[in-house]
Each structure stands twice: as structure tokens, then as C-alpha cells.
């Protein structure tokens, strides 16, 4: 009888309840950690979205500025200037779309290209009108340039964190 009792007792104690499963014991902590990570990811994505919008704006404003300059300085439509403006704006639009795959790389590249674009416009302005042309190129649209530069520099850290978090999850 003692052996039957021990056999029944061992079978009864071998049955586990949901609270005894190790995966389920970790669930509240894991769920909390996942929620925190999800909130962080949403914050990173929000700032990257702002940078993406800044890249779209940069592309659109550069294209628009080139079109205004074209009609102001020439007698009408010039296909070469139009193609150059499309390429300039298209670079920023392409970088904006690239932020969905590689946000850090796209934002840093966009920042560098934007600064190079400002420098190039200053050099071209200096070639045409001397120092006055360089200053005019730097000062024209200064607030817009400043806003775009700020919109591209602020999210760099969050974009890097977002890329690292995506690497860890996959």
C-alpha cells in the first residue's frame, strides 16, 4: 500500500500547474520589457519620421527654388535646368525613402548632401557675382536651411538606436 501511495503521490506531484511553467513565470517581466522596448521603438520611429519629412521638404524646396530661379533668369523653360533640379530634389526624396531601411545612414547622408548643396550654391554664386553672390547664396532661405539642418541633426542618435534595436530583434 505504501508503494501505491508513493506512486500516486509522484504522479500527482508531476502534474504541473500553469504557474509552474518557466515560460509563463517569465511572461509578466518579458511582457513588461517588450512593452518598454515597443514604446522606445515608437519614439525612435517618430523622430526618424520627422527627419524623413525634412528630407522630403528639402527635396521639394530645392526643386521649387531651382524652378523659380530658372523662370526668373531665363526666358522660360530650360530642360537642362529642369533635369538638374529633378536630380537635386530626387536625391533628397530617395534618401527620405531610404530612411525606412537604413535610417541612420540615410539621415547622415542627407545632412552631408544638404551641407554640400549649400556650399556648392555658394561656390557657384561666387563664380557668378563674386563674394556678394556667395553671401546671397548663403543668406537666401537661411531660416529654411536652418530648420532643415536642425531637423536632420536632432534625430541622428535616435536613428542609430532604431537601427541597433532592429538588428537585435531580427
Distance (Å, whole) CA 97 – CA 137? 28
Is 6 a residue whose pLDDT tops 60? no
Nine-digit cell at 76? 522660360
State pLDDT tens for residues 46-104. 888 888 999 999 999 999 988 998 888 877 888 998 999 999 999 999 999 999 999 99
Q: What is the pLDDT of residue 90?
A: 96
Asked whether 97 and 48 are in contact (CB, 8 A), the reply is: no
Question: What was the pLDDT predicted at 109?
Answer: 95
Please count the other Cβ atoms lying within 10 Å of the Cβ belonging to residue 156: 17
Interval 103-132 mean pLDDT: 92
Instruction: Indicate if the alpha-carbon torsion angle 105, 108, 112, 114 is positive or negative.
Output: positive
C-alpha cell at 45: 520611429
Contact 118, 152 (CB under 8 A): no
Task: Give the Cα separation of 114 and 129 in Å (integer).
Answer: 22
d(CA 119, CA 137): 9
**Cα–Cα nearest to 158, from 33, 36, 42:** 42
pLDDT digits (tens, 9 = 90+) for 21-36: 454 455 777 777 777 7
Which residue is listed with cell 501511495?
Answer: 5
By 3-state DSSP, what share of the chain in percent is helix, strand and coil, each rounded to 5? 90, 0, 10
Summary mean pLDDT of the chain: 82
Beta-carbon contacts of 134 under 8 Å, excluding residues fewer than 6 positions away, are 122, 123, 125, 126
Counting every residue written for the chain, the total comes to 170
Domain ranges of the chain: 2-169
Would you say residue 112 has pLDDT above 60? Answer: yes
Contact indicator for 56, 96 with CB cutoff of 8 Å: yes
Amino acid at each position: 500500500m505504501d508503494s501505491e501511495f508513493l506512486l500516486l503521490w509522484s504522479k500527482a506531484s508531476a502534474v504541473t500547474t500553469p504557474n509552474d511553467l518557466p515560460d509563463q513565470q517569465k511572461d509578466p517581466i518579458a511582457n513588461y520589457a517588450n512593452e518598454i522596448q515597443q514604446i522606445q521603438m515608437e519614439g525612435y520611429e517618430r523622430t526618424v519620421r520627422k527627419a524623413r519629412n525634412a528630407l522630403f521638404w528639402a527635396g521639394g524646396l530645392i526643386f521649387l527654388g531651382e524652378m523659380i530661379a530658372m523662370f526668373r533668369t531665363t526666358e522660360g523653360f530650360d530642360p537642362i535646368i529642369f533635369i538638374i533640379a529633378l536630380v537635386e530634389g530626387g536625391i533628397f526624396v530617395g534618401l527620405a525613402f531610404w530612411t525606412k531601411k537604413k535610417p541612420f545612414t540615410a539621415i547622415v547622408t542627407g545632412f552631408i548632401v544638404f551641407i554640400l548643396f549649400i556650399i556648392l550654391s555658394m561656390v557657384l554664386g561666387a563664380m557668378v557675382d563674386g563674394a556678394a553672390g556667395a553671401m546671397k547664396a548663403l543668406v537666401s532661405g537661411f531660416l529654411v536651411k536652418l530648420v532643415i539642418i536642425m531637423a536632420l541633426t536632432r534625430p541622428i542618435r535616435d536613428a542609430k538606436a532604431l537601427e541597433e534595436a532592429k538588428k537585435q530583434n531580427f
